[in-house]
Amino acid sequence: MKKAEKTAYISDKLEELYPETPIPLNHTDDYTLLISVLLSAQCTDERVNKTTPFLFEKAKTPHAMIKLSVDQIEEIIRPCGLSKAKSNAIYNLSHILIDKHQGKVPQNFEDLEFLPGVGHKTASVVMSQAFGIAAFPVDTHIHRLATRWKLTNGKSVEQTEKDLKRLFPEHLWNKLHLQIIFYGREYCPARGHIIENCPICRQLGVKK
């Protein structure tokens, strides 16, 4: 199967399986999405969604967040792991949003990636899901599946992002990255992967 045929099949199958792609992190606006994505680093979405109601009950805006101490934030978000680093990042980025952006989340990669605790993947999620700007956030699930499907050489997340952006039309990116995540969780896990139960791998002739 040629690469163009492969990508067309993948996008069509994912659209068939996941016509709706709700954002798996609960949030109410761009700021709460930013905080939720930051918390999701090395943590499951389920755990984040169980933790953020306690945080957002106390502070769901940058102005409210900086009224809490770093220690108070850390205590609340402890179940998400890396709580010391994440609490410092949340507190400091909230100050920056107030001082430099009138308390609003910036709508560009440069300013987002300048924020503490916000890397390119987090910025990409916010740009795509909060602002509808075309981006292709690549997490470990997407990197793993893109490698398994031989859409990339798998040498780095950065290379995988470039390869996927080149292979798939831009108007699909924002939805496709969520579809791949959903598919990986349901059909194509890292361990215990059963080819017969995985329609895309079966069609593509993936061996393992």
Q: Would you state the pLDDT for residue 194?
A: 87
Mean per-residue pLDDT over the chain, rounded: 93
Give the mean pLDDT of 118-142: 92
∠ at Cα 38 (36, 39), nearest 5°?
65
Task: Let me know if the fold of 3-21+136-204 is the same as that of 30-130.
Answer: no
Cα 166 to Cα 30, 63, 93, 194: the distances in Å are 28, 40, 32, 29
Q: Does residue 10 carry a pLDDT above 80?
A: yes
Higher pLDDT, 155 or 24: 24
Catalytic pick among 2, 6, 30, 121: 121
Longest dimension (CA), the chain: 57
DSSP 153: -
Per residue in 190-201, pLDDT (tens digit) is 888 888 899 999
Q: Does residue 2 carry a pLDDT above 90?
A: no
Give the mean pLDDT of 141-147: 91
Measure the CA dihedral 108/111/116/117, to 10°: 20
Q: Which CATH class is domain 30-130?
A: mainly alpha
Q: Would you state the pLDDT for residue 206?
A: 86
**Displacement of CA 100 from its chain's centroid (Å):** 25
Per residue in 101-113, pLDDT (tens digit) is 999 999 999 999 9
Band the pLDDT of 67: cuts 50, 70, 90.
very high
Measure the CA dihedral 38/48/21/108, to 10°: -10
Q: Does residue 208 carry a pLDDT above 70?
A: no
Burial environment of residue 86 by CB neighbours within 10 A (0 to 12, 13 to 18, 19 or more): buried
Which residues contact residue 46 at a Cβ distance below 8 angstroms, ignoring those fewer than 6 apart?
none
- Considering the domain delimited by 3-21+136-204, tell me its CATH architecture: Orthogonal Bundle (1.10)
Give the mean pLDDT of 16-39: 94
State yes or no: is 139 an active-site residue.
Answer: yes
Compute the residue count for the chain: 208
Query: Which of 87, 85, 114, 89 shows the shortest CA–CA distance to 100?
Result: 114
Token pair for residue 49? 């969604």
Token pair for residue 156? 């780095």
Q: Does residue 17 carry a pLDDT above 90?
A: yes
Catalytic pick among 2, 30, 111, 139: 139
Token pair for residue 159? 């290379």
Domain edges within the chain: 3-21+136-204, 30-130
**Of 39-43, 66-70, 103-107, 114-118, which gets the smallest average pLDDT?**
39-43
State yes or no: is 99 an active-site residue.
Answer: no
Token pair for residue 92? 């400091």
Q: What count of other Cβ atoms lies within 10 Å of the Cβ of residue 20?
A: 8
